[in-house]
Amino acid sequence: MPQFVSPAQAVSHIKDGDTIIYNNFLSVINAEQLSAALNERFKAEGHPRDLELYCSAGLGGWTPGNVCEEIVCLGAVKAVTLSHFGTTPEIARLILENKLEAYNLPFGVMSHAIRAAAGGQEYIISDTGLNLFVDPRHKGYQLNEKSRRELVEEIIIDGKRRLKYAVPRPDVAFIKASSCDGEGNISMEDEVAIGDALSVAQATKRRGGIVIVQVARQLEEPRHPMEMVIPAALVSYICICPEQTQVQGVPGIDPLLSGRQQLSDAALGEYVRQQSLQSREDPAKLLIARRAARELREGHVVNIGVGAPEYVAREAARSGLLSQVNLTVESGPMRGLPAGGVPFGAAISPHAICTAAEQFDFYDGGGLDICFIGALEIDRAGNVNGHYHPKKLSGIGGFINITQFTHKVVFCTSFSAGGLELEGDEQGLSIKSEGRFPKFVDSVSALSFSAENARQSGQEVLYVTERCVFKLGEKGLVLTEVTPGVDLQKDILDRLPFEVEVDVLESPSPTTA
């Protein structure tokens, strides 16, 4: 039976050199109180040190030096393996400055690796990442000169190249949940996602490690066993933290995000319309979303990414499409409206919530009809960099799992970034100020999406910007649409660092922001 202790007492059992595995998804299901206690112990004792951190998604916060990345900033950590670095800007900075050993692997691969570790396996075999930056032929997952471990190998099975990924070896698990019963069985009824909570606990327990779970409360009455996500037998310590929040940095519990309260699809449309009136929407993202949403079809199972793709979900809600399509998020929510910004990973009024590993089973199996996802760079061949720039480390997250196996991929990005200013009226779009950072480059800095992979698998690929649309052709990008009001030569062709095939049959209807 687990012991009920304070966070400080729980983290006192962590030793120098331990690997801590987190069941985080960015700023949700984030064990903040455990992280804070670990930080305070290190400040007081100088221990534990030489820690390694493993998280299939990413640690939360979004702001520099937040509570989850502070242990790294304090110098207690020697290595991190994460899929996403956007919420930990100081960790990203240390990596780019070659001050921290670090590895970047696909979210889905890491999620499946945790499940495999729970079953005592030493590795997993996957097609995810073939010919991309994680492929040993590229070695892009080793993020700097300090990072020399071989976590991915090329193997041949039945004459076909595949990738062999190492699984984690956790000594300590940090898990956030909602409540526990008197025996210590764990439930997650107020959380917006499950992550891989059970697998994280199993993988740690089978190695003789310690499993620490923070919850908001202890239940007075027992729940149905099907509602208990982690059995008490797997838990070492439980910390009652009534101050914990659902989303890091956002006070309180929103029952719409956990699904305990439901809105109809029509009500979600009205919710988005009201939100639009209360806050100014980005005109470029709005234009992109309106065009991208035209690719949705009844019955589609859809993944919505962060950034500009979030607007596609809003457009679907505004236009009454939510009842016709199935929007999903890689963290596990199905249906409802994917939440953007800080609570990304949640959905407003989800109809069901899977574990992350289960969601990626479906994604990797080609279950998605279409996905909408962002891009840092796009080159002449149609390759996309979605995770890395020498001055910006975002991390791959679920990008590869989503884009490598989905039937239709729609990249949603502005033509340039950093100061782009637009005006729109009944005559069409006018570009008042160009962004300082071009998105279209001669060659991408890192390979997150391979145009050649897409051609071989028969994927349909679109690249939607505020001023034009490209498709993936046999030889590379093909310009197919120009937004009314945009000058083809001045605003598009002259700003591309390469020549592009032009096949503009007709312009789309005027769409203004």
Q: What residue type is 160 in one-letter code? A: K
- For the chain, the structural domain boundaries read 3-240, 263-502
Q: Which tokens go with 31? A: 């064990």
Phi, psi of 158 (to 5 degrees): 55, 40
Query: Model confidence over 395-453: pLDDT tens digits?
Result: 999 999 999 999 999 999 999 999 999 987 666 898 999 999 999 999 999 999 999 99
Query: Model confidence over 115-140: pLDDT tens digits?
Result: 999 999 999 999 999 999 999 999 89
Q: End-to-end alpha-carbon separation of the chain, Å?
A: 58
- For the segment 307-328, the average pLDDT, to the nearest whole number, is 94
Residue of 191, 310, 315, 330 marked catalytic = 330
pLDDT classification of 381: cutoffs 50, 70, 90:
very high
Dmax of the chain from CA atoms? Answer: 71
Q: Which tokens go with 277? A: 């009136």
- Say how far apart CA 114 and CA 169 lie, in whole Å: 9
Under 8 Å between Cβ of 360 and 330: yes
In CATH terms, the fold of domain 3-240 is Glutaconate Coenzyme A-transferase (3.40.1080)
Instruction: Tell me what percent of the chain is helix, strand and coil, each rounded to the nearest 5.
Output: 25, 25, 50
Beta strands in 48-207 (DSSP E): 51-55, 77-82, 101-104, 123-126, 152-157, 160-166, 172-176, 179-180, 186-187
Residue 70 in 3-state DSSP?
helix
Q: Does domain 263-502 have CATH number 3.40.50.2000?
A: no
Query: Quick one: pLDDT at residue 425?
Result: 66
Under 8 Å between Cβ of 109 and 164: no
Under 8 Å between Cβ of 463 and 470: yes
Query: Could you check whether 3-240 and 263-502 share the same CATH topology?
Result: yes
Give the torsion through C-alpha atoms of 307, 311, 313, 316, to 10 deg.
-160
Query: Quick one: pLDDT at residue 511?
Result: 45
Question: Considering the chain, what percentage of its residues have pLDDT values greater than 70?
Answer: 97
Would you call the peptide bond into 106 cis, given omega within 30 degrees of 0 as the criterion?
A: no
Q: Are strands 352-353 and 333-334 parallel, antiparallel or unpaired?
A: antiparallel
Q: Is 227 part of the annotated catalytic residue set?
A: no
Query: Model confidence over 57-105: pLDDT tens digits?
Result: 999 888 888 999 999 999 999 999 999 999 999 999 999 999 999 999 9
Q: Which tokens go with 242? A: 């009534």
Residues 6+ apart with CB under 8 A from 389: 376, 377, 445, 446
- For the segment 2-19, the average pLDDT, to the nearest whole number, is 98
Q: What residue type is 116 in one-letter code? A: A
- Say how far apart CA 508 and CA 513 lie, in whole Å: 15
Query: Model confidence over 502-512: pLDDT tens digits?
Result: 999 655 544 44
Q: Are strands 77-82 and 101-104 parallel, antiparallel or unpaired?
A: parallel
Q: In angstroms, what CA-CA distances link 400 with 217, 239, 403?
A: 38, 36, 5
Which DSSP symbol is given to 393?
A: E
Average pLDDT, the chain: 94
Instruction: Examine the pLDDT at 310 and tell me if it is beyond 50.
Output: yes
CA-wise closest residue to 282 among 375, 386, 373, 414: 414
CA-wise closest residue to 288 among 386, 400, 377, 372: 372
Q: Tell me how many degrees the CA angle 49-51-57 measures, rounded to the nearest 5.
A: 145
Of residues 249 and 365, the one with the higher pLDDT is 365
Dihedral sign, Cα of residue 103, residue 109, residue 115, residue 121:
negative
Query: Quick one: pLDDT at residue 139?
Result: 83
Q: Are strands 352-353 and 160-166 parallel, antiparallel or unpaired?
A: unpaired
Return the HEC string of 455-479: HHHCCEEEEECCCEEEEECCCCEEE
Query: Quick one: pLDDT at residue 426?
Result: 63
Q: Tell me how many degrees the CA angle 204-209-212 measures, rounded to the nearest 5.
A: 80
Query: Quick one: pLDDT at residue 512?
Result: 42
Query: Model confidence over 241-274: pLDDT tens digits?
Result: 999 999 998 999 999 999 999 999 999 999 888 8
Instruction: Examine the pLDDT at 222 and tell me if it is beyond 90.
Output: no
Instruction: Examine the pLDDT at 378 and tell me if it is beyond 50.
Output: yes
Query: Quick one: pLDDT at residue 122?
Result: 97
Of residues 63 and 33, the one with the higher pLDDT is 33
Instruction: Examine the pLDDT at 481 and tell me if it is beyond 90.
Output: yes
Query: Quick one: pLDDT at residue 189?
Result: 97
Q: Tell me how many degrees the CA angle 194-200-204 measures, rounded to the nearest 5.
A: 160
- Say how far apart CA 253 and CA 260 lie, in whole Å: 11
Query: Quick one: pLDDT at residue 513?
Result: 42
- Say how far apart CA 409 and CA 42 lie, in whole Å: 45
